Structure 1
Amino acid sequence: MVMKDSKCSKPLSADNSHLRSLLLFAKSNTGVGVGTIGRVSRQRTLDLACVCEKFKLLRVLDIIGIKTSSSTIPIEIGSLIHLRYLRVRSTNIRELPKSIGKLDKLLTLDYWDVSAHNNEIKVPNVLWKLERLRHLFLPGDLTSNTMEDLKLDSLKDLQTLWGVKGGNWMLKEMEKLSSTLTKLCIQGISSLEQLEAVFNSPVIKTNDNLYALALDWYGLYSFSLVPCLDMLSSKDKLKKLKLMGRAPDKSIPLKFPSSLRKLELHFTQLEKQGTMDALGKLPNLQFLGLAKDSYLGNEWICRENAFPKLEELKLSNLPKLKIWEMKMGTMSCLKKLSITSCASLERLPKELKSTSTLEILEIARMPTDFNSRLRKVKAWDKTSVGGEDFHIVQHIPNIGIRDSCTPLLF
């Protein structure tokens, strides 16, 4: 284990009781700090109770990749009454103590990236006591009791609510969420009523400061979300949007806010070319991810000068996409293109040959014929011969093509 002052990055001893900031992270045998549960499990455990007792003046405590014997944070955490920032990530810590409610100066509680290993994560019903809290990150594997007791109406200065799990708490608490909220992520929304509570809440209906929104309602099938999603088109400060769930556009194309810089769609089952055209007209979009049946059309035609600022495009698990065409001037700023598991896609658009900004092309789990057309291979006389479509990509500095069971090679 390594204990470091986050300002000077030097190893510490217990004599440094005056510390204001402390970073705790696991260290591998190679001397590199690790942040994943798989590697942390091989590390020694750390007595966090001792840390809390020795460094009572802490304002910042950052715990990354630490393993504890009890899989909890000790009750002694409540003695750190000056704490403003607490982050617990990539750990085996599955439970927070009630004493965390004593940290009334806390501004940020980041407990998002936690692996439960099939055990639910427990957070006591004391978060409402942290009235100064501005940023709250929670994991999606919280126990049902935690979700039912979740109360956030006292957090008037809350700006970030990220990773919280959907549940019936939303029916009574969404309308009470702070109007100062700018970042919202809710996972596992399991009913139409819960989803409607989100869109009818002040966070979306009247809040004009929303910056980032991520919603996961995967598993709901029997309704159309077009009217609800159209509410977002007027949010002129919304920069990042991630939607995971059915939002079929069978009647009218979907609308998106022109302010978007990053858009990720999963399971949306879009079909209309009109919706895809609307995406291409977004003037500020820099990242677009279409994944897991987000688009069900077998043809995607990018109109002239579409996606004027797009720098990264990711296409994955779009089994019906067969033809992809780009008109003149499309994606003129594209730097990175990734295509994964789009089994029906016949070939890359020939217009990519004119995209001089493209620096990285990653191809993974695509049919052998598709890959072969892009590769440069040795002929029988030891000369290099490009595949049928190699001329389209030969100007790209970094090309990685990975077959089903091989590593990505550049």
Structure 2
Amino acid sequence: MAEAAVNFLIGKLTNFLDNEMQFFRDAEDEVRSARGQLEGISASLRVADSLEESDEEVRDWVKQLREIAYVTEDALDEFKLLSAHDHGVGFAGLFCRISCCVKNMKARYRTISQIQNINSRIKSLCDGHQRLRHKFSKAEHGPGSNYSDNTWHEHRGKDCFSDKNELVGIEEQKKQLVAWLVEGTSRPQVISVVGMGGLGKTTLVHEVYQDPEVKKHFMVCTWINFSGSPNIGELLQDIHQQIRGVIRQPIPCGADTMNIYWLKMLIKDLLQEARYLVVLDDTWRIDEWDVVKHALPNNMCSSRIIITTRNYDLASTSCREFEGKVYKMEPLPVEQSWKLFCTKTFQGSSCPSHLEETCEFILKKCEGLPLAIVAIGGVLATKDRHIIGEWELVRHSLDTEIDCNDKLKNLKRVLSLSFNDLPYYLKSCFLHLSLFPKGHRIKCSRLIRLWIAEGFVEKKEGKTLEEVAKDYFVEMLNRSLIEVASKRSDGRVKTCRIHDFLLDIITSRSTDQGFAEIAKEENREWPDKVRRLSIQNTLQTLPRNGSLSQLRSLNIFGVDKSFMNSVLASDMKLLTVLDMQAAPLTRFPAQVADWCYLRYLSFRFTEVSTIPSSIGKLQNLETLDLKHTNVTELPVEILKLQRLRHLLVYCYKNVSYSTFKFGFKALRGIGALQSLQKLCYLEANDENSSRVVRELGMLTQLDRLAILKFRKEDGRDLCLSISKLTRLRVISIASIDDDEIIDLQHLSCPPSFLQRIYLRGRLRALPHWLPSLSSLMKLHLGRSRLKDDPLVSLQNLPNLVHLQLIQVYEGSSLCFKAKTFKKLRTLGLDYFDELKCVEVEKGAMPFLEKLIIQCCKLLKKLPSGIEHLTRLKVLEIFDMPDELVKKLVQGGQDDDFQKVARVPEIYYGYWRDEGWDVQLIERSVQRDVASTQGSSMRSNEFPPCWK
């Protein structure tokens, strides 16, 4: 983490030299010297970070370097805080300015003295760098590994379970992989087995590799272990020697000194006429694969290459190049996890009844990760089964056991490798996840905005910071460090999560490296200087040494009101992030307006109802999140926040069938907020609305615009504004009432990248430009009441995956034509008052997975042709005629039921007593016979399509 901290500081020093040196002429040489020295050692910092765990001398050097980076950052920010202070007007203001001038002079001298001292410490550390340079060089260029733990490579084979009894749940996986190896095309193919560390990729592939059918099928079989970052030359030597051994040819003289080019030629010649199987185990980087692939001949002998990796990018890239297949490893299901756990812990016997609760808790924490189950099972196997206290101790101390128990060191090492391999710009982002409680589902959009506010995201030419942060997020997903917890209907990731054991490891690193303090235990002292603080659940009091004067980020999860108030009363003048989502807050804390470094401020899901005019002092604010608060009006001073990028002020309220949104009153002058990217939800129904709608065209960085209470007369002005918003991806418009027309026909050139459109209100006709939107993925139309069939205009949209139509059409029939809606996956048809017939022609909607039909009182039969929707997984029938529902519930030989008998999930429900009563229709596994039972799934909840 020294690399991240130092690179961040170098950027800060550069900015300081460019913008603040008029206050620091006396220290300019010192600042430039400090920056120069840090730049001189920055090249070695990634190597130093990787050696930190195994070398005490390096660890101490890295720790000092981190501390200096933090101290320097604090000194610069504290001075800027004083120099930027506003002192008022008049005689009192003059007196204040004179007084503050003296204070600032003292602060300048103090800061100059600090920088001189810091510079001296940096020089000392640079001398230390000279002493350590031989270690860095050896680690980076030495044989067998690039800055990685060699002892790990020596014991890599321990990943493979040696005991056959511990191979649980791999038979079907093995069968699939063997089939891919021995069947199929004569061209070489790559089979990539991908997943997070500890899932058993190596174990599975090792079993496949040793299978007699596989050994018999291939002339040459070689197993190459990458293990993080091998020396490519030595790896090619290993491949060459293994092949020579298999075909019984002597190694030619001088082969051990050949360069990479000649080694690749030798290997290619040896394999040119052979049906070969090459296993590349624990492969990490695409550039390493690029070297090896050119050594493998593209013959026509049905050769195969297996790659095990944690990197999904590598898996997909290699398979595209060789027309291969990706096998994604998944955690063990509960039943198989329990079997493996009992095999390891109780030597195959059943779990004693008095230990079941404890063991179930421990197993749940393993989350189906075989390596974790085996490792912890090995620890528990040594415990006395009659002494429950020993087992409970393990249960309550698993977090610390991973760090101190020798039997769990292998688990920690496997999981830590993924972190060690990260580039520096991702390490901070990954450690940042330690701020969230275990089991917490983290919203992707929230995470991206937090990373930007923390300064983790680097600028890239041609991309916004949000786009770069999304790239970071995808890279972490592809490296199997985080996993998708839920997706939206158009395929976007909604929430993510991190495995508990991986979270334990990064939490430990986060604390050890001074990155963050995770406060969830009473009577635990904090470090002298806390930079990031996550307060979770049970904490009631601040520790005695709990100074927060250097705090940059405060994240609160589930604390009580009195403790929260005591925290907010602390001196936090350098605070950058204040995330109080769902905190017990009823008013905007007055002191927040004095924390002028704030970039991210969230009171989401609180009871805050008013925002004071003093918010205009937060000149650095980038995100203001007031979603699901009681705020309906913003002070005009909000327009001073020129750096504001995300303004979220809205809430939902459910009334009967419908979900209503409430936003904030339109502000004249909103065009001044020219950094805005997301604006939700603006209420455009007062005397200022026409002017405000025209000003929206000035917000050229907008990618999401949401407007409520829209009026017909503002349609032309809105179209003019939208035509200027070339970056717009999402637009949401709701009319002032369901009879008000939304007039968007004046838009001649819509933004070409529009991906999602939500329109609620009457339409005379669908916007003429809608069929031209080749990027459109999601379309939600409500209360349109069209006279003409909307499907005609929408059916050829090339990328539409979700279509929701609510009271859109007043006709009696709908027909989905063959070869239309080619990518549609979710379809909702709601409130079609006159609809009597729906037809699905063969070949229409070939990828449809979810169909929702609601509140169509005259529709008494399922769509004809629904049986053609062979990929349909979920059918939901809500508030529909009893005649239709009974056919599905009773089953039997009814035509309607037979059409959907093979759909895995069918739900039906009715609105009763201000809530939905939803049932799952239970059927046999064969799907040919149905029972007449209904299983209640959820109640008092809106169906998904209404949310």
Shorter-chain TM-score range: 0.7 to 0.9
More relative contact order in 1 or in 2 (CA 8 Å, sep 6+)?
Answer: 1
Q: Does 1:181 align with 2:710?
A: no
Q: CA deviation at 1:141?
A: 4.5
1:93 corresponds to which of 574, 596, 608: 608
Q: Does 1:199 align with 2:724?
A: no
Deviations 1:187-227 (A, max 9, x none): 112x33333321222xx123322100001114274767362
Matches within 5 A, 1:152-231: 152-167=670-685, 168-176=687-695, 177-189=698-710, 191-201=711-721, 204-219=722-737, 221=739, 225=743, 227-228=745-746, 231=748
Deviations 1:160-201 (A, max 9, x none): 111111133332233333112111000112x33333321222
Output the CA distance in 1 between the equivalents of 2:768 and 2:618: 49
Q: Which amino acid in structure 1 is aligned with residue 763 of structure 2?
A: A
Q: Does 1:327 align with 2:754?
A: no
Aligned to 2:901: 394
Q: Which one has a larger percent strand, Structure 1 or Structure 2?
A: 1
Q: Does 1:342 align with 2:856?
A: yes
Aligned to 2:643: 132
Output the CA distance in 1 between the equivalents of 2:599 and 2:873: 42
Q: Which amino acid in structure 1 is aligned with residue 616 of structure 2?
A: G
Aligned to 1:246: 762
SS of equivalent residue, structure 1 residue 174: helix
Q: Which amino acid in structure 1 is aligned with residue 795 of structure 2?
A: G
Output the CA distance in 1 between the equivalents of 2:670 and 2:831: 37
Deviations 1:95-147 (A, max 9, x none): 11222211111111121322x4xxx733211111110111111226467xx53
Q: Does 1:305 align with 2:815?
A: no
Output the CA distance in 2 between the equivalents of 1:271 and 1:192: 19
**Contact 2:735–2:741 (CA<8 Å) still a contact in 1?**
no
The 1:174–1:364 alpha-carbon spacing in structure 2 relative to 1, beyond 3 Å, is same
Q: CA deviation at 1:322?
A: 1.3
Aligned to 2:773: 257
SS of equivalent residue, structure 2 residue 919: coil
The 1:312–1:165 alpha-carbon spacing in structure 2 relative to 1, beyond 3 Å, is same
Output the CA distance in 2 between the equivalents of 1:26 and 1:170: 39
**Contact 1:299–1:323 (CA<8 Å) still a contact in 2?**
yes
The unaligned stretches of length 5 or more in structure 1 are 28-42, 378-384
The 1:290–1:124 alpha-carbon spacing in structure 2 relative to 1, beyond 3 Å, is same
Q: Does 1:357 align with 2:357?
A: no
Aligned to 2:159: none
Aligned to 2:555: 23
1:65 corresponds to which of 579, 582, 603: 582
**Contact 2:727–2:753 (CA<8 Å) still a contact in 1?**
yes
The unaligned stretches of length 5 or more in structure 2 are 1-431, 437-517, 521-534, 536-540, 651-660, 921-947
Length, aligned pairs only:
368
1:282 corresponds to which of 754, 778, 797: 797
Output the CA distance in 1 between the equivalents of 2:671 and 2:769: 36
Q: Which one has a larger percent helix, Structure 1 or Structure 2?
A: 2
Aligned to 2:368: none
**Contact 1:123–1:142 (CA<8 Å) still a contact in 2?**
no
SS of equivalent residue, structure 2 residue 624: strand
Q: Does 1:409 align with 2:919?
A: yes
Output the CA distance in 2 between the equivalents of 1:184 and 1:133: 15
Larger mean Cα displacement after TM superposition, 207-216 or 400-409: 400-409
SS of equivalent residue, structure 1 residue 407: strand
The 1:226–1:209 alpha-carbon spacing in structure 2 relative to 1, beyond 3 Å, is closer
Deviations 1:70-92 (A, max 9, x none): x3212111122221112222221
Q: CA deviation at 1:407?
A: 2.2
The 1:122–1:162 alpha-carbon spacing in structure 2 relative to 1, beyond 3 Å, is closer
Deviations 1:306-328 (A, max 9, x none): 11111111122222211111112
Aligned to 1:33: none
**Contact 1:74–1:97 (CA<8 Å) still a contact in 2?**
no
Aligned to 1:109: 624
SS of equivalent residue, structure 1 residue 64: coil
Identity of aligned residues (%): 27
Q: Which amino acid in structure 2 is aligned with residue 248 of structure 1?
A: R
Aligned to 2:923: none
2:786 corresponds to which of 260, 264, 270: 270
TM-score by length of 2: 0.37
Pick the structure with greater CA Rg. 2
1:51 corresponds to which of 568, 591, 603: 568
Q: CA deviation at 1:259?
A: 1.7
SS of equivalent residue, structure 1 residue 90: coil
Output the CA distance in 1 between the equivalents of 2:769 and 2:839: 20
Output the CA distance in 2 between the equivalents of 1:312 and 1:279: 14
Output the CA distance in 1 between the equivalents of 2:562 and 2:893: 54
**Contact 2:632–2:663 (CA<8 Å) still a contact in 1?**
yes
Q: Which amino acid in structure 1 is aligned with residue 607 of structure 2?
A: N
**Contact 1:25–1:63 (CA<8 Å) still a contact in 2?**
yes
Q: Which amino acid in structure 2 is aligned with residue 280 of structure 1?
A: Q
Output the CA distance in 1 between the equivalents of 2:836 and 2:744: 26
Deviations 1:316-346 (A, max 9, x none): 2222211111112111111111111111113
Q: Which amino acid in structure 2 is aligned with residue 213 of structure 1?
A: I
Deviations 1:215-265 (A, max 9, x none): 11142747673623x546x43200000001111229989645232100000
Q: Which amino acid in structure 2 is aligned with residue 7 of structure 1?
A: S
Output the CA distance in 2 between the equivalents of 1:386 and 1:223: 47
Output the CA distance in 1 between the equivalents of 2:682 and 2:574: 30
The 1:226–1:75 alpha-carbon spacing in structure 2 relative to 1, beyond 3 Å, is closer
Larger mean Cα displacement after TM superposition, 324-333 or 18-27: 18-27
Output the CA distance in 2 between the equivalents of 1:85 and 1:59: 7
Deviations 1:44-80 (A, max 9, x none): 5775574263444332222222333xx3212111122
Q: Which amino acid in structure 1 is aligned with residue 886 of structure 2?
A: S
SS of equivalent residue, structure 2 residue 435: coil
SS of equivalent residue, structure 2 residue 707: strand
Q: CA deviation at 1:387?
A: 3.7
The 1:97–1:239 alpha-carbon spacing in structure 2 relative to 1, beyond 3 Å, is same
SS of equivalent residue, structure 1 residue 375: helix
SS of equivalent residue, structure 1 residue 58: coil
Output the CA distance in 2 between the equivalents of 1:215 and 1:181: 15
Q: Which amino acid in structure 2 is aligned with residue 8 of structure 1?
A: L
Q: Provide the aligned C-alpha RMSD in A.
A: 2.8
Output the CA distance in 2 between the equivalents of 1:365 and 1:220: 21
Aligned to 1:380: none
**Contact 2:556–2:583 (CA<8 Å) still a contact in 1?**
yes
The 1:183–1:370 alpha-carbon spacing in structure 2 relative to 1, beyond 3 Å, is same
SS of equivalent residue, structure 1 residue 53: coil
Q: Which amino acid in structure 2 is aligned with residue 205 of structure 1?
A: S
The 1:345–1:55 alpha-carbon spacing in structure 2 relative to 1, beyond 3 Å, is farther
The 1:264–1:252 alpha-carbon spacing in structure 2 relative to 1, beyond 3 Å, is closer
